[in-house]
Amino acid sequence: MSYNDCLQDVPDIFENEIGEALAMRTESLGMIRELGPPDLCHIVKIHSSNRTEPDIGSYHHVLGVDTSSSASLAAYINSLQYSLNDKPGWFGPGNNWKIASGTYCTYNAFSKLDLRVQIKIPGGVDAYAINVQGERQDVTEELWTECHVSGILRAILYSNPAEYSVTGLRRLTLAANLREEARVVEALMEQFWNGWRLGSNAETQVASHSRNYLVDGLMAYFAGQGRYNDCAGEILSPLAYAPLGGRQQQADSRSSLDFKGIDPNVAALLAEAYMGGDQEVQGVRVMHQALKAKPSCYPMLYTQAEFLRLKKQHKAACKIALMAVKYAPSEFHAWAKLTEVYIDDNDFQNALLTLNTCPMYTYVDRDYPRVPTPRRINYPVKSEVLEEYNLGDNFTNGNYGSVPMNPRPSADSDAPGAAEEQTQNETSFILRLAAPTLKGTFAHAYKLLSNIVSTIGWDELLQLRSTVFVMEEEYRNSVGPSVAIDDEEDEEDDHIPLSALKERRDTVGENQNPEAMGSEVQTTDLNSNGSVIEAADSAKGEETKVDEAKGDEPKVDEPKVDETEVDLAEQDNSKEEKQDPEPEQDKKQDTNTEQDTSEMDVSESEQKASQVSQPKGKKKNKKSRSKKSKDTLKTQEASKPATADAETLSDKLPVQENADDAQPAETAADVQAIPDVETNGDLSKDTSISALGNKMEDVSLADDDSAAPEPTTANTYDEPIEQAKSDELPEQNVANDSVDQVAAPQVAAREAKSASPEKDQADQPEAQPESKLADNQDVRKRLCERWLDNLIMILFDDLRTYTNWRTKMHNLRATGQQVVYQFTQAEWEALGDLALRLHRPSEAREAYECALRIRFSAKAWLRLLELHTGKYAAVQAEEVKRNDSVAPPPPLASTDSLMMALDAAVWLAVYNDRWYNNMAYPNPLCNLIIKLVNIHGLSKVHNSLVSMNLKPAVFNMVKGHLEIAEKFEVTGTKW
């Protein structure tokens, strides 16, 4: 139905009540977190001849308008007056609707204010600002500058309709020529040092001068045209070499390279721009100067690691990436880059461990406008030639609820109807895959995981996962019944058994802080290789307290008494107590009268030893218990003098209650089965084991073999812990600046050990071969993070769906059945995305072509254009190399590839013009057309476009993007 109160070439969203959209925007200002929503243009229309007609309020969203002053905004609202339906009627003008007033709202992301310009026609202009509380403020010149930059960044970062779409959104060209671009660049440089106030993307933890939305917009603007050299020479070089981070320092780029006062953060961007512009020598020079100024600059280390990775220098890139992780352990980019280096180096075990260590951030979605439910929406067709193209619906995020749309007719009469297709989509498993919903760091992590699978396969990934991580059955067998199972990282006593906690609570006085004791048990040191250094001094101190507690009792020289014998003595005493309780009670009374402060210290040391000896995740099976109990009896009979001396010492020690809970019998048997290791060595080992649950404390990510723990027969613990005797081990070189090993978070429960590797010579007459010893050596396993486990399951769903799809396609083709209509258009698009996620671009191309055979699809045309412009060239080469049955794609420089790309570009250009996307640049379509110019040259692309015999209106749509490439002199315009 045609309405005379609508705009001709601008979408119109009509309100139920005038001003309700402005009121809701004011209410939602407190919910804006990043750059803010698009600009809102609200107009009020009146009927000039019939005053009984009620006024009408309508609005639309817009990006790309110059928001540097109130005059430019007033000019935009005034231009809408000429967009009203002014077709003349039979006896005169048929439209009497006029724009009486208008309000333009634009958000200032720096000051968190909403600047508004209210215009009355005819009348004056009123500019003011609204804060979060809804209060009105005056507008200053600085606020207008910040508002201009905010509008520029929104136009650049929201330029992709597939990623950001709002109902009734109109996009305009940001800079149509070099003069307008100069104004944009000047505004960005003026606010460059305030860019951190805008925040950063979802993959950056802390915003800085090199990681923020302003930098993202600046780099995206010049990267889309491939003009890295212009960005480096005109913008980044003056900023990087400005003294003390000054805002403006005009200097020649060549002479500025010798200037020592360089900003390392901006220099990282400068080096990246130089390398993108094929000036690697200058990029390396900038990196050298920046690292000399600040060797710990994380952005520069990240850039250097990426440069070395692209040069196939994996070992050097690994060293630099480890340094980046060391200096920025909370940044996802550093860990992700280290994972990429390990994948390229075919070190998939460390790659999976590093991926498991990546810090994940909660995804914060972009700001969308909150508006009331509209009365109606008008989408006018700007040109009659567009009616000949069956384009379908526009991208939308659905923030307005269900808005009635015309069903898209099919391009083929054999296609199923819209109702049938909708019913099939609602029950389709393909459309319910979770991978397309991943955002931020989780989407990046899934991409890295899919890279591993595409290289080694799913079976190898499962085997690698079971080797690196603790599986469910192993976790069940490794957790004891008295251990508190808690996955929360904020609990300090997760590694201590429940019985030991109760014992500590009963023994320690009210003045003693239990949390302090728990922190003492967890205190450890780290060497440069990420392994735990034993607290030998602490263990020796505990032994000294035991000697002091003896008093005048004779010391035991041969054999040396350890805690194992003390525990055995306590067990014997408990048996005697059951047989004759009265003498034992008298014995306790005599012991209590002779205790002093030093004996209390001994009890505390025993509690710590009992707590540490049962770390989280340790459990013995029944066979090992019975076997170790037999070994214990044999050892008791063989060493009766030592046991007798231990009983003498146990008389001086306080008897613990619930001794079976605090110190399990099998733990004592373990210590007895290893007589060569001293008591202080066992204590420090168990102390280090209990502290391995802390984050960033023990995982080794170095690729050198020297960092791996050496196999020993006297120690079979899961982590490389030193023995107590320092003279038996070589001295380790501990340096502060060593980056060969990087600590990683949270070590999980270990595998259960069935028996000790060393036994008495009577029980083991023959030594095991070295191969068996190597096989029995435990692997350091870690607990897989929940998010990574979920990603693996998501990847499994993708692979299962992909396998079913290819099997069905093979069967259909073998039987000669129809293939296209076996899936709906939405399912074909989802299958194409699935194939791209799994690094199979040839099959993705097939799926997108099948989707287009059903009806028009903007997503399918855009993906095909990306395939024909070389975006997935590296993936296509790997697929052909991996699978011989895959036909190689046509070369990018061939005429066939150019014509297929231009066919997709024409359809997308018509689609953009239909849905009011008049932004010539930045635009994903324009970026891909510029790539065609880079590959084939402007002359060849233009002539090929002319040979397609398009209508003049359609030809001019595509030609506008070629004019942008010619005006800004991108690569390929000279030939």
| 3-class secondary structure per residue, 954-966 | HHHHHHHHHHHHH
Instruction: Provide the terminal-to-terminal Cα distance of the chain, rounded to the nearest Å.
Output: 50
Q: What pLDDT sits at residue 123?
A: 77
Rounded Cα gap, residues 912 and 386, in angstroms: 11
- Would you state the structure tokens that stand for residue 868, as one six-digit string? 């024909």
- Residue 71: phi, psi to the nearest 5? -65, -40
| Nearest residue to 818 (alpha-carbon basis) of 854, 771, 789 | 854
H or E element: which one contains 378? strand 376-378
Q: What pLDDT sits at residue 87?
A: 57
Q: What pLDDT sits at residue 262?
A: 86
- Would you state the structure tokens that stand for residue 123, as one six-digit string? 């009348």
- DSSP structural state of residue 430: G
Sites in the chain below the pLDDT cut of 50 = 1-2, 244-259, 395-411, 481-502, 505, 508-571, 573-630, 632-778
H or E element: which one contains 107? strand 97-108
Rounded Cα gap, residues 860 and 852, in angstroms: 7
Q: How far is CA 133 from CA 113, 130, 197, 503, in A?
A: 10, 8, 20, 55
Q: Which residues fall within 8 angstroms of residue 438, CB to CB, at 6 or more apart? A: 446, 794
SS3 735: coil
Q: Which residues fall within 8 angstroms of residue 170, CB to CB, at 6 or more apart? A: 10, 11, 60, 61, 62, 63, 916, 918
SS3 553: coil
Q: What pLDDT sits at residue 889?
A: 87
- DSSP letters, 309-373, are HHTT-HHHHHHHHHHHHHH-TT-HHHHHHHHHHHHHTT-HHHHHHHHHH-------PPP----PP
Rounded Cα gap, residues 219 and 195, in angstroms: 13
Longest dimension (CA), the chain: 126
Q: What pLDDT sits at residue 615?
A: 39
- The answer to whether 350 and 222 have CB atoms below 8 angstroms apart is no
- Residue 103: phi, psi to the nearest 5? -135, 125
- Would you state the structure tokens that stand for residue 796, as one six-digit string? 């499994």
Q: What pLDDT sits at residue 475?
A: 79
Q: What pLDDT sits at residue 197?
A: 93
- Would you state the structure tokens that stand for residue 329, as one six-digit string? 């352990």
Q: What pLDDT sits at residue 506?
A: 54
Q: How far is CA 24 from CA 30, 151, 369, 400, in A?
A: 11, 20, 9, 13
Q: How many CB atoms lie within 10 A of CB 501?
A: 16
Q: Which residues fall within 8 angstroms of residue 292, CB to CB, at 6 or more apart? A: none
Rounded Cα gap, residues 508 and 514, in angstroms: 8
Rounded Cα gap, residues 149 and 188, in angstroms: 6
H or E element: which one contains 506? helix 498-507
- The answer to whether 94 and 88 have CB atoms below 8 angstroms apart is yes
| Nearest residue to 199 (alpha-carbon basis) of 186, 217, 181, 187 | 217
Q: How far is CA 336 from CA 157, 318, 671, in A?
A: 23, 12, 42
Q: What pLDDT sits at residue 748?
A: 36
